A and B are shown apart, each in its own frame.
Chain A
Amino acid sequence: MAQTVVHKANTRGVADHGWLKSYQSFSFAGYYNPERINFGALRVLNDDIVTGGMGFGEHPHDNMEIISIPLEGELQHKDSMGNTATIKAGEIQVMSAGTGIYHSEYNADAKNPAKFLQIWLFPNKRNVTPRYDQILLNDTDKRDEFVQILSPNAADAGVWIYQDAWFNLGKFNTDVTKTYNLNKKGDGVYIFVLKGEIEVNGQILATRDGFGIWETDSFEVKAISDAEFLMMEVPMEF
């Protein structure tokens, strides 16, 4: 029988630094909740709002797969590998921090806030050579389908990372129901609702709720209203 966990939006950690408001689904920086450390290889899911013109100054990372998904606005990225780029809604950025990188990330707009998801996964290999990639997601306007945006395979749709993980975005019209079949036995899926209401395994989920499901091969997602959501399939043991 499937195992599940629900993280309602209002139970997330909150960090308010003035220029940054961060809603944290799992323990991060000053937010420590021993019951909310990770979901399998998914270690960080931060729902960040950065004030216009502000951002994260240069700081290090190592041994982590770091995925950024802008939801609104644009972020200016610069790193120690020589990459300078702007990412905006409809794109996805990935960094394999490996042996270590430095980077900075600023809201490219001086006035309007930038909203983005910052997602960290434990890598399946420590101390890899750092790498950076960002792509435009072509199919995110498709409705009523799971649209793959990340996988472990370079040749597959979306970006790739050093972990057996698959991310899909869904934009469903009201009452649409689809079955998600897991790619790998032993994986779990963490669903994060971006907009609207969905039902998964009998659980109603509203905007910014999180829901983990594992010990199952498949499950149904039903849109209660027009809804957008991110599904992150990750190994539960890694």
Chain B
Amino acid sequence: MQKIEILIVGTNKPIMETIARLIDKEEKWLATIAYTVEEALALCRLKDFSLVLICAGLSKDEENQLSLSLKQLKADLPFVKHYGGGSGLLYAEIYQGLALQ
């Protein structure tokens, strides 16, 4: 089964690992973590992600830079800001984000 690949970008390692684990619990989804904007953009050049979740820890400038660069790099790639840090809102954010494709 081809999995839906989701890139999550943020700096809080334990929270990023929790979010990745929650995403990977869904059979059809696969999470990849990037801890910096540069890492996120490099991964986007290598792989076709279906969604980017912008998690906690990036500065406002970094979030803006990531959003702008993603638009230039892959105009159709949806990205959404993640809130909450755990399972509460994650699934709704992913369903809504994937619907933007």
Using a CB–CB cutoff of 8 Å, the interface residues on chain A facing chain B are 27-30, 32, 34, 37, 43-44, 59-64, 97-100, 102, 120, 122, 126-127
- Asked if B95 contacts A32 (CB within 8 A), the reply is yes
Residues of B near A100 (CB, < 8 A) are 12, 14-15, 56-57, 85
Q: Is the interface of A mostly helix, strand, loop or mixed?
A: loop
Residues of A near B95 (CB, < 8 A) are 32, 34
Q: A98-B56, A127-B56 are in contact. List 14 more A-B contacts (CB 8 A).
A: A43-B89, A59-B87, A60-B14, A60-B18, A60-B85, A60-B86, A62-B55, A62-B85, A63-B56, A63-B83, A100-B57, A100-B85, A102-B14, A122-B83
Q: Which residue of B lies closest to A61 (CB)?
A: B85
Q: Which of B11, B12, B57, B83 has the most CB of A within 10 A?
A: B83
Residues of A near B82 (CB, < 8 A) are 62-63
Minimum CB–CB distance from B90 to chain A (whole Å) comes to: 8
Residues of A near B57 (CB, < 8 A) are 62, 99-100, 127
- Asked if B12 contacts A62 (CB within 8 A), the reply is yes
- Asked if B81 contacts A126 (CB within 8 A), the reply is yes
Residues of B near A30 (CB, < 8 A) are 91
Knowing A34-B96, A37-B92 are in contact, say whether A64-B83 is a contact too (CB < 8 A): yes
9 A–B contacts, CB within 8 A, in A order: A29-B87, A34-B96, A60-B15, A60-B86, A61-B85, A62-B56, A62-B82, A62-B85, A63-B84
- Asked if A99 contacts B91 (CB within 8 A), the reply is no
Does B60 count as interface, using CB distance less than 8 angstroms?
yes
Minimum CB–CB distance from B81 to chain A (whole Å) comes to: 7
Does B59 count as interface, using CB distance less than 8 angstroms?
yes
- Asked if A27 contacts B92 (CB within 8 A), the reply is yes
Residues of B near A61 (CB, < 8 A) are 84-86
Q: Which residue of A lies closest to B55 (CB)?
A: A62
Contact with A along B3-40 (1 / 0, CB 8 A): 00000001110110010000000000000000000000
Minimum CB–CB distance from A237 to chain B (whole Å) comes to: 15
Q: Report the Cα distance A32→B95, complex, angstroms.
A: 9
Minimum CB–CB distance from B11 to chain A (whole Å) comes to: 8
Minimum CB–CB distance from B13 to chain A (whole Å) comes to: 10
CB interface residues, B 54-101, toward A, < 8 Å: 55-60, 63, 81-89, 91-92, 95-96
- Asked if A44 contacts B12 (CB within 8 A), the reply is no
Q: Which of A34, A43, A60 contacts B83 (CB 8 A)?
A: A43
- Asked if B58 contacts A127 (CB within 8 A), the reply is yes
Q: Report the Cα distance A63→B83, complex, angstroms.
A: 5
- Asked if B14 contacts A32 (CB within 8 A), the reply is no
- Asked if B58 contacts A62 (CB within 8 A), the reply is no
- Asked if B88 contacts A29 (CB within 8 A), the reply is yes
